[in-house]
């Protein structure tokens, strides 16, 4: 999953250096050198990330290293957003200097992570070209609905309705729509709704990388449920059994209390096979009635493959007024944050 985020950052850095005219680049004094450093370091890290992500399942130190990388990468992404906005509005010089300092600091932190990388002796694993699909990492944080009030309330209702005895477990609700239309935003809104928080025993947010890898998703669910031991062999089966024991509330072979009612968000699902999807969903069928899985995808056939066509939510474009409100909201937030930090 870190690999996808690093790929996105390299794309953004390349776009900045290639597509901005000299005058715009000079808005942030001395940043071009740091951009070169960031790009060079990210490329060195990217070359070994597949090996690192395979090893993290069994090596806690590698998992910590990847978490540190993700944290710094998220901060780089935020600063690049801030920089892009500064270029648009040609803000005051003191703020441009603040961005330059942030980029320099992040470049130094990333260099330390790169130095630590070399101690692990990761191997470079060449990936097929069709696997090199960049995928933006997402999180569960958002606080404004902007034109999605109806969709939000409708989806919250679907999540809170436990249905009858004939209802399958878990109910899968795919949200389908083109890239950038707001699928992740809608899920963030309902995920953080107090009614939803109070309704479910466990909520887990997973950003799904491309290609779809069932072991990573099952491991992420197990980690969200609190697993501490990481299996050395037969990892998929071990994680699945842990998930079952958690959601069935089994301890030392004895059932303790009612099953866990969970909400899992799988954000950005692309092209799983039926067998891969079955591996993910199989242990989750042991959960309590009323459990839900939200899936965001750009691809209609993903929902068809899951066999839940009747539950699909097709997300439409926002109105022009809602788009304008959303733009001004984020512009004001970025400006306020920048003034507070400078």
With CA atoms as reference, report the closest residue to 330 among 85, 159, 164.
85
Q: Give the start-to-end residue ranges of the domains of the chain.
A: 2-135, 149-321
Residue 250 bridge partners (DSSP): 255
The Cα 146–Cα 264 span in angstroms is: 24
- Closest residue by Cα to residue 145 from 191, 176, 177, 178: 191
Q: What is the DSSP letter of 224?
A: H
Q: Which of 19-33, 58-72, 138-152, 192-206 has the lowest mean pLDDT?
A: 19-33
More confident residue, 82 or 251: 82
Token pair of 301, please? 């056939």
What's the confidence (pLDDT) of residue 172? 95
Least confident of 21-35, 62-76, 161-175, 281-295: 21-35
pLDDT in tens, 202-234: 999 988 877 788 998 999 899 888 887 666 667
Provide the b/e sequence for 146-162 (b: ≥16 CB within 10 Å).
bbbeebbeebbebbbee
| Residue 155 or residue 252, greater confidence | 155
Assigned token pair, 179: 């890239």
Higher pLDDT, 131 or 339: 339
The whole-angstrom distance between residue 93's C-alpha and the CA centroid of its chain comes to 34
> So what's the pLDDT on residue 41?
92
CA distances from 128 to 14, 44, 174, 232 (A): 22, 18, 29, 27
Is the predicted pLDDT of residue 331 greater than 90, yes or no? Answer: no
Does residue 277 register a pLDDT over 70?
Answer: yes
Report the C-alpha gap between 108 and 100 in whole angstroms: 12
Q: Name the fold adopted by 149-321.
A: Rossmann fold (3.40.50)
């Amino acid at each position: 999953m870190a690999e996808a985020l690093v790929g996105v950052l390299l794309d953004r850095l390349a776009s900045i250096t290639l597509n901005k005219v000299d005058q715009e680049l000079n808005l942030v004094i001395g940043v071009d050198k740091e951009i070169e450093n960031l790009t060079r370091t990210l490329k060195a890290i990217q070359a070994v990330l597949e090996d690192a992500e395979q090893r993290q399942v069994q090596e806690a130190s590698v998992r910590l290293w990847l978490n540190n990388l993700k944290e710094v990468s998220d901060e780089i992404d935020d600063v690049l957003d801030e920089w892009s906005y500064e270029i648009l509005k040609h803000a005051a010089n003191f703020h441009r200097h603040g961005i330059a300092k942030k980029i320099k600091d992040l470049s130094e932190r990333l260099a330390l992570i790169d130095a630590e990388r070399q101690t692990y002796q990761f191997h470079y694993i060449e990936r097929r070209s069709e696997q090199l699909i960049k995928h933006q990492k997402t999180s569960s944080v958002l606080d404004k609905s902007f034109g999605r009030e109806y969709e939000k309330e409708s989806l919250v209702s679907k999540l809170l309705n436990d249905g009858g005895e004939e209802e399958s477990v878990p109910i899968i609700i795919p949200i389908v729509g083109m890239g950038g239309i707001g699928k992740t935003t809608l899920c963030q809104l309902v995920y953080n709704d107090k009614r939803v928080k109070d309704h479910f025993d466990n909520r887990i947010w997973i950003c799904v990388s491309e290609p779809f890898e069932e072991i990573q998703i099952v491991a992420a669910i197990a980690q969200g449920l609190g697993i501490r031991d990481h299996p050395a062999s037969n990892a998929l089966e071990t994680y699945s059994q842990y998930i079952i024991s958690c959601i069935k509330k089994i301890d030392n072979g004895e059932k303790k209390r009612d099953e866990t009612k969970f909400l899992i968000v799988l954000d950005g699902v692309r092209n799983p096979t039926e067998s891969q999807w079955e591996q993910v969903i199989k242990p989750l069928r042991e959960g309590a009635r009323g459990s839900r899985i939200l899936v965001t995808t750009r691809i209609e056939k993903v929902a068809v493959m899951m066999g839940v066509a009747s539950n699909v939510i097709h997300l439409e474009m926002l109105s022009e007024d809602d788009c304008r409100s959303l733009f001004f909201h984020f512009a004001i937030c970025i400006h306020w944050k920048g003034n507070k930090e400078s």
